[in-house]
Amino acid sequence: MSKRAVLELKVRNHPGTMSHLCGLFARRAYNMEGILCMPMTDKQFSKIWLLVDEDERLEQVILQTNKLIDVLDITEHAASHEVFEKLECFFNS
């Protein structure tokens, strides 16, 4: 299995944001292994967690994602981040 990284995105919460993000990954042939999205306490914003490959393209993935108008902020985490691990039980039962 290739190495993974976790990206944490703060985005504008409105219809279309998800399409822009998924469209970007699809047309640039970036791998998206997992995606989680929920509105934040302030409903103007949503948080999106992405599980992606950590390879030589990751920097370009982040730069392109940052260009999306609805993406306000990106933080990069190591794959060991617990967000996807804690959800494991919902997917492997």
Q: Enumerate binding residues for other proteins (CB under 8 A).
A: 14-16, 19-20, 23, 27, 59-60, 63-64, 66-69
Q: Which is nearer to other proteins, 64 or 83 (CB)?
A: 64
Cα–Cα distance, 3 to 9 (Å, whole number): 20
Q: Which is nearer to other proteins, 26 or 78 (CB)?
A: 26
CB of 12 to other proteins, least distance (A): 11
CB of 48 to other proteins, least distance (A): 17
Cα–Cα distance, 53 to 56 (Å, whole number): 9
Alpha carbon separation from 9 to 51, 59, 66, 89 (Å, rounded): 11, 15, 9, 23
